[in-house]
């Protein structure tokens, strides 16, 4: 009788052990197996968020001379800052602006600037590039007007156009998609005795610049001559060369109206 009890206890213990092993095996299987339809991994969500953030950003790079810097504007904005303000009123996108303008810069100096690695890095990410250049090439700090020589002006123009062509070519090699807005020249000396001659020269420079711009895709020449032609004194700073706050605002309104999303 005692032996039968021992055999029964041993059988029950063996069965319990077997059930424990089966349960352990099933638990390990559930823990280690790969689900048939695994959930999206976290990195995918992060990537999607980064893409959305990038699409929400609108980058503007401004290059050129003192007009890009905003010299003469008491508000400190210049046409560049006013363009940014105008766009922010029209969209919920984040507008980022980098102003790389340098006072007194001429086209040969701008050509060297756009070849700099850091400048090219910024140009590469631009949605819009705005450029002012040529005033210093033409007027030469006023020296061109001291002895107005048309042959000399033509020589200056040819070198200027060669530099601008290289500037546009360099920027297009870095960024094929950005829209380039090339802001034209106005005549700040339209009230002087030789105004008809200087205006004719400025118009010729603008015409050649517009022709050159047309050779490059998504490159828009923006005229400004007419803005200052009739009311030049109202829109010039006290140096009688750079625009004042109101003059810059008018230029900005024209550029901003051309920018599309």
SS3 content of the chain, % helix, strand, coil (to 5): 60, 10, 30
Residue 54 has a pLDDT of 54
Rounded (5°) CA angle 216-224-219: 10
Check whether 11 has a pLDDT greater than 90: no
pLDDT in tens, 70-118: 999 999 999 999 999 999 999 999 999 999 999 999 999 999 999 999 9
Q: In the predicted model, what is the mean pLDDT of the chain?
A: 84
Residue 200 has a pLDDT of 95
State the maximum Cα–Cα separation within the chain, in Å, rounded to a whole number. Answer: 137
Residue 227's SS3 state is helix
Is 53-258 a CATH 3.40.50.1110 domain?
Answer: yes
Check whether 2 has a pLDDT greater than 80: no
Residue 7 has a pLDDT of 54
Please give the structure tokens belonging to residue 190.
């339209």
| Residues linked to residue 60 through DSSP beta bridges, in sequence order | 97, 128
Residue 28 has a pLDDT of 36
Locate the domains of the chain by residue range.
2-33, 53-258
Mean pLDDT value across residues 53-64: 86
Cα gap 49→45, rounded to integer Å: 6
Check whether 205 has a pLDDT greater than 60: yes
pTM: 0.79
pLDDT in tens, 221-233: 999 999 999 999 9
- Dihedral in degrees, nearest 10, Cα atoms 91, 252, 132, 239: -150
b/e code 91-124 from CB counts within 10 Å (16+ = b): eeeebebebbbbeebbbeebbebbeeeebbebbe
pLDDT in tens, 29-51: 333 343 333 333 233 323 333 33
Residue 181 makes CB contacts below 8 A (sequence gap 6+) with 128, 129, 130, 131, 220, 222, 255, 258, 259
Question: pLDDT exceeding 90 applies to what percent of the chain?
Answer: 73
Please check whether residue 183 is in contact with residue 198, taking contact to mean a CB–CB distance below 8 angstroms: no
Please give the structure tokens belonging to residue 34.
């790969």
pLDDT in tens, 145-203: 878 899 999 999 999 999 999 999 999 999 999 999 999 999 999 988 888 999 999 99
pLDDT in tens, 226-261: 999 999 999 999 999 999 999 999 999 999 999 987
Cα gap 235→252, rounded to integer Å: 13
Residue 83 has a pLDDT of 98
Question: pLDDT exceeding 70 applies to what percent of the chain?
Answer: 79
């Amino acid at each position: 009788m005692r032996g039968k009890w021992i055999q029964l206890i041993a059988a029950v213990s063996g069965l319990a052990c077997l059930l424990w092993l089966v349960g352990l095996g099933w638990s390990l299987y559930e823990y280690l197996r790969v689900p048939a339809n695994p959930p999206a991994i976290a990195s995918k969500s992060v990537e999607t968020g980064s893409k959305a953030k990038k699409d929400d950003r609108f980058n503007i790079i401004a290059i050129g001379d003192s007009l890009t810097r905003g010299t003469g504007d008491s508000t400190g904005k210049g046409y560049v800052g006013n363009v940014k303000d105008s766009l922010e009123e029209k969209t919920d996108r984040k507008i980022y602006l980098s102003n790389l303008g340098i006072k007194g810069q001429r086209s040969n100096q701008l050509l060297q600037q756009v070849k700099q690695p850091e400048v090219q890095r910024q140009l590469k990410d631009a949605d819009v590039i705005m450029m002012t250049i040529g005033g210093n090439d033409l007027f030469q700090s006023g020296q061109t007007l001291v002895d107005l020589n048309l042959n000399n002006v033509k020589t200056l123009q040819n070198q200027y156009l060669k530099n601008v062509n290289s500037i546009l070519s360099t920027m297009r090699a870095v960024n094929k998609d950005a829209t380039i807005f090339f802001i034209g020249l106005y005549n700040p000396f339209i009230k002087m005795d030789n105004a008809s001659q200087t205006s004719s020269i400025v118009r010729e420079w603008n015409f050649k610049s517009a022709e050159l711009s047309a050779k490059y895709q998504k490159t828009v020449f923006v005229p400004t001559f007419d803005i200052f032609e009739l009311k030049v004194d109202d829109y010039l700073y006290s140096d009688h060369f750079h625009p004042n706050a109101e003059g810059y605002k008018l230029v900005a309104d024209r550029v901003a109206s051309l920018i599309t999303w």
